[in-house]
Amino acid sequence: MTNNEIMIEIKDEDLEELAEMYKPHEDALPQVYSFILTCIISKKNGMPKFVTVMSPNDCWRKDGTFFALMPNYGHDIFFHSLDTSGETIVQGLLNTKKFKFPLNTLRSYTLFFCIHEYFYPRIMNLMTHHLQLSLLFCTFCTMYCLRKEYALRTSISIPSNVYIKEVNPEEASIMNSVYPHSFPGSTQRLAYFIKLNGGYGVYLKSNDQLVAWITLSCLGQLSALQTLEEHKRKGYGKLITLFMCRKLAEKGLHSFATVNVGNKPSELLFDSLGFKKLGSSQYFGVQMV
């Protein structure tokens, strides 16, 4: 690691240019394009501490390489590059002190978020052999995409006994109570993401109970899709997913989701809704040794 810091922060006013670089690649990389738009929106909506976007030696104008550090209610890192060799990503990780990989966050680990299959073989080797990081877990996912044109053509029929409306951050505790991957601080984190990107829920008309919901993650991807156990197998999960996809399509965005490899119910759901596979990605948690 060099003594000179390699990471240079990308100015807020330059994020629009970065988004334009990824716009032609949105069919293959919808999650990257939507994430940059989320970064831009967060700055405009008074959430400047949501993310810091950086580039090794300011190379983003050349090859689109950027790193994003999201410190709120965790310690998440997302990166991408239009150079599929991953060389600038490797050099960035080897020669920066910006990330620090703390031990005292709410989750006690750093989460590398949705790392594309182009990059994770080299990154995993780097993590375990060069950066003195301990790999706590590694989750392989299939990436799914529903094109905006398809979502706009899909009809949505809402049953007469329910209605759909936006969820609010105060409902995060209800959602987190049945979230299978909860951790200390995950309620606050979910509320933060609802404030950032929104979400929708299915409510019973009889008592206004929230029975199914979906939100958007920090990448602007479909996330936290859940139905209360007693209301499963009524089609509410499919309904709220299509509703969110329509809302994203109306904003000009494809819908993107990741599903853990082997999660057959979710795979069947997205297949049935017309989502297409885009390849694989990886989530992994690390700590300093």
State residue 103's pLDDT score.
63
Q: State how many domains the chain has.
A: 2
Within a domain: 259 = no
Burial bucket for residue 179 (CB in 10 Å: 0-12, 13-18, 19+) = middle
Does residue 235 share a domain with residue 110? Answer: no
For residues 108 and 184, is the Cβ–Cβ distance under 8 A?
Answer: no
State residue 3's pLDDT score.
60
Report pTM.
0.93
Does residue 129 share a domain with residue 11? Answer: yes
Does residue 220 share a domain with residue 120? Answer: no
State residue 104's pLDDT score.
57
**pLDDT tens profile 33-43:** 999 999 999 98
Does residue 74 share a domain with residue 181? Answer: no
State residue 71's pLDDT score.
87
State residue 45's pLDDT score.
87
> Residue 180 sits in which domain range?
148-253
Within a domain: 56 = yes
Does residue 71 share a domain with residue 51? Answer: yes
Does residue 194 share a domain with residue 105? Answer: no
Within a domain: 277 = no
Within a domain: 272 = no
For residues 158 and 164, is the Cβ–Cβ distance under 8 A?
Answer: yes
State residue 112's pLDDT score.
94
Does residue 152 share a domain with residue 109? Answer: no
Within a domain: 106 = yes
Which mean pLDDT values do the consecutive 10-residue runs of the chain (289 residues) have?
82 97 97 97 89 97 97 89 96 91 70 94 89 90 98 96 97 92 84 94 98 95 95 96 97 97 94 96 87
Cβ partners under 8 Å of residue 125, min gap 6: none
Closest CA to 53 of 26, 104, 92: 92
Beta-sheet strand order (sheet of 76-80):
7-9, 52-56, 66-70, 76-80, 110-116, 276-288, 133-146, 255-260
Does residue 72 share a domain with residue 134? Answer: yes
Within a domain: 105 = yes
Does residue 194 share a domain with residue 109? Answer: no
Q: How many residues does the chain have?
A: 289
Does residue 80 share a domain with residue 18? Answer: yes
Within a domain: 152 = yes
Does residue 73 share a domain with residue 178? Answer: no
State residue 279's pLDDT score.
97
The whole-angstrom separation of Cα 255 and Cα 31 is 8
**Residue 91's domain is classified under what CATH number?**
3.40.630.30
Within a domain: 122 = yes
Does residue 111 share a domain with residue 18? Answer: yes
**pLDDT tens profile 224-257:** 999 999 999 999 999 999 999 999 999 999 999 9
